[in-house]
A and B are shown apart, each in its own frame.
Chain A
Amino acid sequence: GQNIDQPTEMTATEGAIVQINCTYQTSGFNGLFWYQQHAGEAPTFLSYNVLDGLEEKGRFSSFLSRSKGYSYLLLKELQMKDSASYLCAVRDQDRDDKIIFGKGTRLHILP
């Protein structure tokens, strides 16, 4: 089966850095996604990792370690608009490449 774990909630300060962790267990790992979802809106794509290492995209970076079943999303220079839920999702090639989501991490940014 699949199991994806991430913290339920986190709080950080405007201008700071925050790291959101995601651990997963899956039989046929074939990529990990991070999405951002503001309250009442649809999720939007942030990043995709299929190989080990760090992918940087502006203020956001995502890291993957396949051997450890671990990923993190790093947000730098936090802004108030970064207050949102961050969803970790894994694609399983043993199951027709279904994409399964974790429960999401609600990030609160304090001024």
Chain B
Amino acid sequence: NAGVTQTPKFQVLKTGQSMTLQCAQDMNHEYMSWYRQDPGMGLRLIHYSVGAGITDQGEVPNGYNVSRSTTEDFPLRLLSAAPSQTSVYFCASSYSKDRGNTEAFFGQGTRLTVV
């Protein structure tokens, strides 16, 4: 049981480059989300999805795009990387609220550095 698979684990980008962080889950979870974690800031929600074909913005969406073409996959795209996007990124998935306790399962994180 793979759970939430997030790739890559580490990445260095130059300012202006674009890239996609991959996230896949095999638990048939409806809800998926992306967070970034910076020192002293905790986890901040970037984008989330309540099901295939549906996405919405979180607290800090600027500079990021997402899509949810399947239940399993929820990629995060950096359009034009900036040093302010240097951070650790976590993907998470869970069942929808209708199933009661909806603990989130997290991927192992992507440590991104933009130079």
Q: A31-B102, A42-B106, A42-B109 are in contact. Are A96 and B42 (CB under 8 A)?
A: no
Least CB separation from B56: chain A residue = A96
Q: Is A97 in contact with chain B by the CB < 8 A criterion? A: yes
- Minimum distance in angstroms from B84 CB to a CB of chain A: 18
Are B50 and A96 neighbours in the complex by a CB distance under 8 Å?
yes
- Minimum distance in angstroms from A62 CB to a CB of chain B: 12
Are A98 and B108 neighbours in the complex by a CB distance under 8 Å?
no
Least CB separation from B54: chain A residue = A96
Q: Is B74 in contact with chain A by the CB < 8 A criterion? A: no
B59 cross-chain contacts in A, Cβ below 8 A: 100
User: Interface on chain A toward B: helix, strand, loop, or mixed SS?
Assistant: strand
Task: Name B78-113 residues within 8 Å CB distance of A.
Answer: 90, 94, 96-97, 101-109
Q: How far is the CA of A61 from the CA of B56 in the complex (A)?
A: 33
Size bin of chain B's contact surface: 20 to 34
Selected contact of A98 from candidates B58, B90, B103, CB within 8 Å = B58
Are B43 and A101 neighbours in the complex by a CB distance under 8 Å?
yes
Q: Tell me which of B40, B42, B45, B103 has the highest count of chain A C-beta atoms within 10 A of its own C-beta.
A: B42
Task: Name B4-62 residues within 8 Å CB distance of A.
Answer: 31, 33, 35, 40-45, 48, 50, 56, 58-59
Question: How many residues in A have their beta carbons less than 8 Å from beta carbons of B?
Answer: 23
B41 cross-chain contacts in A, Cβ below 8 A: 103
Selected contact of B42 from candidates A33, A91, A101, CB within 8 Å = A101
Are B106 and A44 neighbours in the complex by a CB distance under 8 Å?
yes
- Minimum distance in angstroms from A69 CB to a CB of chain B: 18
Q: A91-B102, A96-B48, A97-B50 are in contact. Are A102 and B56 (CB under 8 A)?
A: no
Least CB separation from A2: chain B residue = B59
B35 cross-chain contacts in A, Cβ below 8 A: 101
Are A43 and B102 neighbours in the complex by a CB distance under 8 Å?
no
B105 cross-chain contacts in A, Cβ below 8 A: 45
Partner-B contacts on A (CB < 8 A) = 8, 30-31, 33, 41-45, 48, 87, 89, 91, 93, 96-104
